[in-house]
């Protein structure tokens, strides 16, 4: 049985850990509020732009713009959004396992599947399993999501226009609530009308100045906005997952403290009983 000193040391250690997890929960909650506000502001704009692009895609041909060109998907890239830091439950593991599942299910469907990873945790996970990473970007945060989305958009656009890539997917955690995230994989390139779209293309638009100039401006912007929105979704999901994980850790630490306190009291009572028995035995010996 551990000594009283050892049990007291363990209780102190768990209490110190609990202070850290409680502080991390509060920090994650504060960041989550800001990230959640950003995503709620960005979603309506991204949705309207998405519907506009769906209408344009229905009214254009593949040769109207290079980003609309549909090719045989021989070279495919998956852009995976993960985090730089851990302690956020299964946030990173779930999205990376989804990427592994895609690789396993489609290894014969494409000549090459490239992985572009955002976040240190994703890179470490894949490198540990000897899975090749084509591109790496530093992790996302509330302050750098726009800058990072521009960087990713430029890279995937360059690869698609240079015909090094035939199709590009984006894989990320879509934010639902602090306790719930949905693994989402969506096609970035080529840009196509949304599946199940009810938009009718019976009447074409009038374009000013020209269709080509409009497509040159709006399609790259749409791509960047989609990546930016997904970056905000992933960031909010990360903070939500970390807040939940730290709340669970704090609760578990509290349960552990209660258990150790009970063990300490039992050990202390055992020691007191042993001392009383020794005193009584000594007194009886002196009487005899």
3-class DSSP assignment, residue 186: strand
3-class DSSP assignment, residue 172: strand
Of the residues 88, 95, 230, 253, which is catalytic? 88
CA distance linking residue 157 with residue 220, whole number of Å: 8
Residue (of 31, 70, 4) closest to 263 by Cα position: 4
Residue 41, Cβ density class (10 Å: 0-12 exposed, 13-18 middle, ≥19 buried):
exposed
CA dist 288 to 85, 238, 243, 274, 281, Å?
Answer: 71, 74, 67, 21, 11
CA distance linking residue 45 with residue 163, whole number of Å: 30
Q: Is 88 a catalytic residue?
A: yes
Which residues form the catalytic set? 88
């Amino acid at each position: 049985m551990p000594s009283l000193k050892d049990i007291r040391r363990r209780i102190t250690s768990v209490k110190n850990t609990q202070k850290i997890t409680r502080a991390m929960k509060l920090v994650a909650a504060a960041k989550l509020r800001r990230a959640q506000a950003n995503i709620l502001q960005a979603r309506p704009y991204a949705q309207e732009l998405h519907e506009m692009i769906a209408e344009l895609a229905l009214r254009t041909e593949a040769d109207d713009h290079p980003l609309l060109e549909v090719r045989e998907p021989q070279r495919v890239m998956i852009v995976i959004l993960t985090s730089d830091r851990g302690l956020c439950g299964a946030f990173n593991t779930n999205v990376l396992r989804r990427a592994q599942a895609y690789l396993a299910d489609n290894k014969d469907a494409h000549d090459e599947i490239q992985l572009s990873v955002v976040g240190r945790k994703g890179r470490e996970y894949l490198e540990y399993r000897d899975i090749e990473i084509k591109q790496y970007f530093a992790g996302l945060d509330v302050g750098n999501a726009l800058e990072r989305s521009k960087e990713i958009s430029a890279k995937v656009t360059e690869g698609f226009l240079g015909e090094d890539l035939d199709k590009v997917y984006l894989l990320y955690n879509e934010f639902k609530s602090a306790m719930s995230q949905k693994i989402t994989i969506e096609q970035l390139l080529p840009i196509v009308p949304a599946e199940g779209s009810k938009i009718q293309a019976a009447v074409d638009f009038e374009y000013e100045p020209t269709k080509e100039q409009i497509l040159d401006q709006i399609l790259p912007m749409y791509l960047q906005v989609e990546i930016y929105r997904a970056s905000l979704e992933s960031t909010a999901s990360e903070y939500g997952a970390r807040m939940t994980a730290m709340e669970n850790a704090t609760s578990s630490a509290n349960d552990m403290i209660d258990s150790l306190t009970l063990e300490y009291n039992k050990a202390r009572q055992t020691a007191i009983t042993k001392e009383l028995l020794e005193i009584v035995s000594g007194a009886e010996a002196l009487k005899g």
